[in-house]
Amino acid sequence: MENIRNFCIIAHIDHGKSTLADRFLEITGTIPPQKMKEQVLDSMDLEREKGITIKMHPVRMEWKGYILNLIDTPGHVDFTYEVSRSLAAAEGAILLVDASQGVEAQTVSNLYLALEQGLEIIPVINKIDLPNADIEKTEKQIKELLGDTGEIYKVSAKKGWGVEEVLKAVIEKIPSPKGEIHRPLRALIFDAVFDEYKGVIPYIRIFDGKIRPGDKVYFKSTGEKYEVVEVGYFTPNMKKAEELKAGEVGYIVCGMRDIDKARVGDTIVSDLEVPALPGYREPKPFIFAGFYPILPADYEKLTKALQKLKLNDASLFFSPEYSPALGPGFRCGFLGLLHMEIVKERLKREFGLDLVITVPQVKYKVVLRNGEEREVKSPKDFPDIYLKVYEPFVRMEILTPKEFIGSLMKLCEERRGKQINFQFLDENTAILEYEIPLSEILFDFYDKLKSFSRGYASMDYEIIGYREADVVKLDILVMGQKVDALSVIVPRQKAYYVGREMTQKLRKLIPRQLFEVSIQAAIGKKVISKERIPPLRKDVTAKCYGGDITRKMKLLEKQKEGKKRMKKIGRVEVPPEAFAVLLSVEKKGG
């Protein structure tokens, strides 16, 4: 164990984490030069396109007589829990900061996670080759965060400058793992994937004991028992081994078929009496949206696609639901908007599905008059009569240059945010901390933040629990008929603004009919906004060439009666584009 080093890289999105990992793989000879490609550990096309790590991938490197286990971490706020489990599997972390961007919100957030776990931090400034790199300023910011921690390494991961010195620092500064081989087995699951042939493959870090094929093991959270069929480690492909010992990182195959049972953060033990490792919690979805196939015949295809995605993503939740407007579909739960975006993209690319997605909503807790508490994941389940409603709140941290402080404070206050902290990281950069409802940052908040700060500000947030809220259900009625898929839950003081915006957008989207179409936004039975789409007019008098005016009047009267009858029986189809456009309705004050 003296020669093992377990570490991870923590950084904001697009600060060069995957590129630095590539250089490590090259220098240690883990991947031969002819097989090398950019962003080796980002296996999904989506990861390469968006420049983010979605699914972490560990790798074992051997260099100068040492075993270096890099446990990769996702870089986006939606995957904070996975980051915390990756950190729990390591003894040290490389804090990577882009010299042209400086310290950003997620850098600070993930750094605090690492410091809470007691990890050794190696500060590294990347992209020093860029013409706009401000190394001195970035160095000052890191010292402000960490204090005087000794050397701050300066590298260009793209060009390979200084990367070998960072690897040497990993060996010299990061402590070797602690643990006892002779104790009963305790291993942390920090990720899991599904393989068609091998079943669920948990990725593990062993803290005590050892594990080899033929051993019987238990999963603490479920108490289920399995026999180990195969063990191994990552190079970065899976490589079989005879055994895994305390301090090592690898994988096990044990014939498990349900990924829900291999829960990230769970402990694998040889005996159920052995205490679990700390920090385990269930991943809970906080954002819900309806996913409906545009073609109802694709429902079965969507069912199978979601089941397949679930195999590799234990945090994805879905249950069947039916909408009179959209037909059969699913209510899906996600960790955040990026998580939803990734699932939507994968359904489209990997399974060729065209979907209608309803407005995402957070999960509310409603206390009914009889004292019963109910979780509401969909507006159609929101009760008409209740005592109290609670909504999820987040603690948000914004890093911004000082000239944008005023406009960002105003933005947060518009979104019902309450300031809890304000400090300067250096003379030009401020950290703002707010407690704000999750529903207020779902849609365009990030775009507004970037727009108001000319792209310089960054944000990070964590869920802090539920607080009482004054919200109402806003229904949309077309020709007096409620369109359930367009219902939303909004703060009472913003209901009129959102209702007006939705009816105005629908007026432009719904095609004109031969009769007048009314569109209303209502809270219960009270209509708060109304729009009308005028009818198409057919010239029924075109065939009249002269003659008495009464002939024309009779024809127009007949047309009027016909339109009244059509209005009674006419059905208006809401086009699928309406649901997509309504996602952009802003939730701000009027």
Distance CA 220, CA 344 (A): 33
- For helices 105-116 and 135-146, give the axis angle rounded to 10 degrees: 30
pLDDT for 93-115, tens place per residue? 999 999 988 888 777 878 888 88
Q: What is the largest CA-CA distance in the chain?
A: 109
- Pair (454, 489) in one structural domain: no
294 assigned to some structural domain: yes
| C-beta separation of 545 from 477 below 8 A | no
Q: What is the CATH number of the domain that holds 340?
A: 3.30.70.870
Q: What is the CATH number of the domain that holds 244?
A: 2.40.30.10
- Pair (206, 127) in one structural domain: no
Structure token digits, residue 9: 């890289």
| Predicted pLDDT at 577 | 60
Q: Go through the chain and tell me how many residues it has.
A: 590
- Pair (335, 400) in one structural domain: no
Question: In terms of pTM, does the model score above 0.75?
Answer: no
pLDDT band of 205, cuts 50, 70, 90 = very high
pLDDT band of 175, cuts 50, 70, 90 = very high
As a whole number, mean pLDDT of residues 553-564 equals: 65
570 pLDDT above the threshold of 50: no
Question: Which range is most confident: 173-177, 179-183, 479-483, 557-561?
Answer: 173-177
As a whole number, mean pLDDT of residues 533-542 equals: 68
As a whole number, mean pLDDT of residues 301-326 equals: 83
Q: Which residue has the tokens 């063990």?
A: 231
- For helices 80-88 and 105-116, give the axis angle rounded to 10 degrees: 40
- Pair (435, 492) in one structural domain: no
| C-beta separation of 284 from 465 below 8 A | no
Contacts of 525 (CB under 8 A, 6+ apart): none
Distance CA 347, CA 444 (A): 23
Distance CA 356, CA 379 (A): 17
568 pLDDT above the threshold of 50: no
- Pair (205, 297) in one structural domain: no
| C-beta separation of 28 from 62 below 8 A | yes
Distance CA 392, CA 466 (A): 4
| Predicted pLDDT at 280 | 67
pLDDT for 294-310, tens place per residue? 888 889 999 988 988 88
588 assigned to some structural domain: no
Distance CA 75, CA 97 (A): 13
pLDDT band of 148, cuts 50, 70, 90 = confident
318 assigned to some structural domain: yes
pLDDT band of 237, cuts 50, 70, 90 = confident
45 assigned to some structural domain: yes
Q: Provide the percentage of residues in the chain whose pLDDT is more than 90.
A: 27
Q: Provide the percentage of residues in the chain whose pLDDT is more than 70.
A: 85
β strands within 42-85, DSSP E: 59-63, 66-70
As a whole number, mean pLDDT of residues 519-533 equals: 89
| Predicted pLDDT at 209 | 93
pLDDT for 412-455, tens place per residue? 999 899 999 998 887 888 899 999 999 888 777 888 888 888 87
Distance CA 590, CA 154 (A): 49
- Pair (14, 145) in one structural domain: yes
- Pair (167, 190) in one structural domain: no
| Predicted pLDDT at 380 | 83
- Pair (191, 317) in one structural domain: no
Q: What is the CATH number of the domain that holds 71?
A: 3.40.50.300
231 pLDDT above the threshold of 90: yes
- Pair (545, 490) in one structural domain: yes
pLDDT for 34-46, tens place per residue? 666 555 554 455 5
Q: Which residue has the tokens 């390494």?
A: 153
- CA 380 → CA 189, 190, 397, 480, distances in Å? 37, 36, 33, 17
51 pLDDT above the threshold of 50: no
| Predicted pLDDT at 555 | 67
Domain that holds residue 226: 186-269
- For helices 337-351 and 299-312, give the axis angle rounded to 10 degrees: 120
pLDDT for 377-395, tens place per residue? 888 888 888 899 999 999 9
As a whole number, mean pLDDT of residues 130-138 equals: 90
| Predicted pLDDT at 324 | 77
Cα 255 from chain centroid (whole Å): 30
The least confident of 296-310, 400-414, 557-571 is: 557-571
Pick from 340, 268, 221, 264: nearest CA to 84: 264
The number of beta carbons lying within 10 Å of the beta carbon of residue 451 is 13
Q: How many structural domains comprise the chain?
A: 5
pLDDT band of 367, cuts 50, 70, 90 = very high
Higher pLDDT, 60 or 550: 60
What is the pLDDT of the chain when averaged over all its residues?
Answer: 83
| C-beta separation of 269 from 185 below 8 A | yes
- Pair (24, 146) in one structural domain: yes
161 assigned to some structural domain: yes
- Pair (478, 453) in one structural domain: no
180 assigned to some structural domain: no
